[in-house]
């Protein structure tokens, strides 16, 4: 049975099948987006060259994907 939006209802054991962009990404994902090493991302973060991060717990560091995309767009316009 489908809902009015054309989606099949899910029970508690099912997961969505569509791919969603993550809201938060780790240093490895930032590195992949920028085509640099993870160590370079860590250094850029320490030097304050990246957008503000989001802290998760005591040691977890993530970036908002939207912030990274916007930052990259700004780089394109300034070079």
- pLDDT tops 50 at residue 24: yes
> Cβ atoms within 10 A of the Cβ of 6, count?
6
pLDDT bin (cut points 50, 70, 90) of residue 2 is: very low
- The model carries a pTM of 0.70
* Average pLDDT over every residue of 45-74: 95
- pLDDT tops 80 at residue 20: no
Residue 35, phi-psi category: left (phi > 0), alpha (psi -120 to 50), beta (remainder):
left
The domains located in the chain, with CATH, are 24-78 (1.10.10)
Task: Give the whole-number percent of the chain exceeding pLDDT 90.
Answer: 66
pLDDT at residue number 35:
96
């Amino acid at each position: 049975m489908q809902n009015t939006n054309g989606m099949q209802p899910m029970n508690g054991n099912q997961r969505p099948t569509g791919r969603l962009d993550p809201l938060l990404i780790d240093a490895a994902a930032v590195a992949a987006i920028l085509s640099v090493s993870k160590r370079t991302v860590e250094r850029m973060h320490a030097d304050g060259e990246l957008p503000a991060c989001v802290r998760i717990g005591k040691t977890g560091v993530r970036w908002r994907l939207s912030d990274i995309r916007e930052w990259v767009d700004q780089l394109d316009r300034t070079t």
